[in-house]
Amino acid sequence: MRDKATPPNVIVIICDQLRAFEVGCYGNEVVQTPNIDMLAREGVKFEVACTNSPVCTPSRSSLLSGQYARTCTGTVENCAEPSSVRVRLTDPTIAECFRAAGYSTAVIGKWHVDPDPGLVGFDQRVVPFWHHRNTGQTYSENGGESRVVEGWAPEFEFDQVQRYLLERPADQPFFLYYSISPPHMPLADAPTKYTRMYAPGDVPLRPNVTVNDRVAYDEEWFKIYLWDYLYYEKKAPHTQTLPKDFDLRQLSALYYGLTTWVDDLVGRLRDLLVKQEILQDTLLVFLSDHGDNLGSHHRFNKGLVLEESIRIPLLFHWPSALAPRCIDDRVVSVVDVMPTILSLVGLPIPASSQGADLGALIHGGQEPVSHDGAFIETHFHEIGLRTSTHLYGVQLERADDLPSRRVLDGGDVFFDLRTDPYQLDNLAFGGSQPTVASELRARLLEWNQQTPWGAAHALAPDPAAHGVAGG
């Protein structure tokens, strides 16, 4: 048993755009994720975890604040770059809670949140300037002068993690927010080891990528997936032409390769903690900010109330304090992570938090079934409720005044995920399961009415935040 008088270290590992369906411990038999799978075996796995906002900035803001994006940022859009004025994330963040408790705090890797991390509790900061490039990346350390680094950006970031862990004060606990950009596009901007790791013919495709006997294909989106920043900025001639016969299987094989890159980085971090003899008393939390449609329903990227957009892995690993278990009867979401971490390590949860404290559940206790569910809001004017068995969504009108948007008639979706896991049969207007549909719709509209918008919603939206690739 661990010494409860000794504060545990905490590391949150967040990767970008990894959906749960492409992780071994969530049932994928092809992708190689042995290190993530080990965390799941040794720790607590939530079988059904969801993002509350299937796009980067809003989801990461919810993780840091324990609030829904509309409350902590006043928007459901991406930000372009962090500002030097704290207009968003005005309530205590998880980093500020740890710093107030005497922890060293650090963020290493992708930020993509407003404001600057130095304003919301992070003492040590190594963050990239560009959101989506794995080579030629520019970094700033602790707000200092920027510099371009050679080699692969995720490898540089891991080196910074290693440096931080080696140089940290041995007598001070730490909170590290380690943000890994893959498997987010650009999928072709990666080591050959990973881009050639999987044969396209071996990669399974979800049944809903085929519509009217046609497998999803989109030349423009495929170019974005391959090159992202380089394609948008026309930085290289080859980014304007797809490889010969490029298709969804080849795209998915690249996505699998970058997922294994993430897994390798997780394994190296775990090995480092073992070497430093601190793994036992370190709470590791692994998750993704959102999923990836990857051709399902002929949609690409994310941002929709679809299982492929919203389902994420969520693991809690703490050998000296948590017994291994899988929790499969409760839907949880990103907004729950911050209060749960604070609860597990014995720190107070800010009154501003809107998420649920899952600490008792993780330790084997029970919580009311009425708490089951994840509320989702997208920048495509959708809101949804995902429960253990169903998903209900409504469409909101487009309006400059976001808090006053009305529900549009005819835009509802309702799926029984027990019999229709790929969301192929919309039951919203067919009269099937009317009682369940009515109850879920009422819960969703009540959440929409009662969940406040932050004051920043009155700010003019950032035009750079509306790019099709998103974050």
**Which residues 6+ apart lie within 8 Å of 74 measured at CB?**
88, 453, 454, 455, 456, 457, 458, 459
Region of poorest pLDDT, from 48-62, 393-407, 456-470? 456-470
**Dist. CA 41–CA 405, nearest whole Å:** 44
Residue 466: predicted pLDDT: 31
Which of these, 43, 24, 108, lies nearest to 282 by C-alpha position?
Answer: 43
404 compared with 23, residue with greater pLDDT: 23
Mean pLDDT of the region 4-28: 95
Which of these, 21, 133, 9, 48, lies nearest to 372 by C-alpha position?
Answer: 48
Residue 230: predicted pLDDT: 87
Residue 209: predicted pLDDT: 98
pLDDT in tens, 89-106: 999 999 999 999 999 999
pLDDT in tens, 174-222: 999 999 999 999 999 999 999 999 999 999 999 999 999 999 999 999 9
Residue 461: predicted pLDDT: 46
pTM listed for this prediction: 0.96
Question: Cβ–Cβ contacts within 10 Å for residue 456, how many?
Answer: 17
The partner residues of 386 in beta bridges, in order of sequence, read: 374, 391
Asked if residues 173 and 7 have their Cβ atoms less than 8 Å apart, the reply is yes
Produce one character per residue of 42-54: b if its CB has 16 or more CB atoms within 10 Å, e if not: bbbbbbbbbbbbb
Fold designation for 9-196+253-366: Alkaline Phosphatase, subunit A (3.40.720)
Residue 465: predicted pLDDT: 37
Residue 468 pLDDT greater than 90, yes or no: no
Residue 291's pLDDT band (cuts 50, 70, 90) = very high
Mean pLDDT of the region 103-110: 98
Residue 458: predicted pLDDT: 54
Residue 368 pLDDT greater than 80, yes or no: no
Q: Which two tokens stand for residue 95?
A: 């980093």
Mean pLDDT of the region 425-449: 95
Residue 339 one-letter amino acid: P
The partner residues of 282 in beta bridges, in order of sequence, read: 9
**Dist. CA 186–CA 460, nearest whole Å:** 29
Residue 166's pLDDT band (cuts 50, 70, 90) = very high
Residue 462 pLDDT greater than 90, yes or no: no
Sign of CA dihedral 24, 151, 469, 289: positive
Left if phi > 0, otherwise alpha if psi is -120 to 50, otherwise beta: which for 62?
alpha
Domain residue ranges of the chain, discontinuous segments joined by +: 9-196+253-366, 374-466
Mean pLDDT of the region 318-322: 97
Q: Does domain 374-466 have CATH number 3.30.930.10?
A: no
Residue 3's pLDDT band (cuts 50, 70, 90) = low
Task: Compute φ and ψ for 282, nearest 5 degrees.
Answer: -120, 125
Percent of the chain scored above 70 by pLDDT? 95
Mean pLDDT of the region 403-418: 94
Which of these, 184, 89, 169, lies nearest to 128 by C-alpha position?
Answer: 184
Mean pLDDT of the region 136-159: 95
Give 267-274 contacts, CB < 8 A, sequence gap 24+.
Answer: 267/34, 267/35, 267/38, 268/158, 269/11, 269/13, 269/158, 269/161, 269/178, 270/35, 270/38, 270/39, 272/161, 272/162, 272/165, 273/165
Residue 370: predicted pLDDT: 55
Mean pLDDT of the region 29-39: 98
Highest mean pLDDT among 21-30, 238-247, 422-431: 21-30
Residue 280's pLDDT band (cuts 50, 70, 90) = very high
Mean pLDDT of the region 433-461: 87
**Which residues 6+ apart lie within 8 Å of 213 measured at CB?**
none
Residue 60: predicted pLDDT: 98
Asked if residues 130 and 140 have their Cβ atoms less than 8 Å apart, the reply is no
Residue 467: predicted pLDDT: 32
Q: How many residues does the chain have?
A: 471
Residue 430's pLDDT band (cuts 50, 70, 90) = confident
Q: Which two tokens stand for residue 234?
A: 């026309």
Region of poorest pLDDT, from 132-141, 153-162, 170-179, 453-462? 453-462
Q: Across the chain, what does the average pLDDT equal?
A: 93
Mean pLDDT of the region 236-248: 91
Residue 235: predicted pLDDT: 79
Residue 470: predicted pLDDT: 45
Cα dist. 118→107, 215, 287, 323, 366 in Å? 9, 46, 23, 35, 38
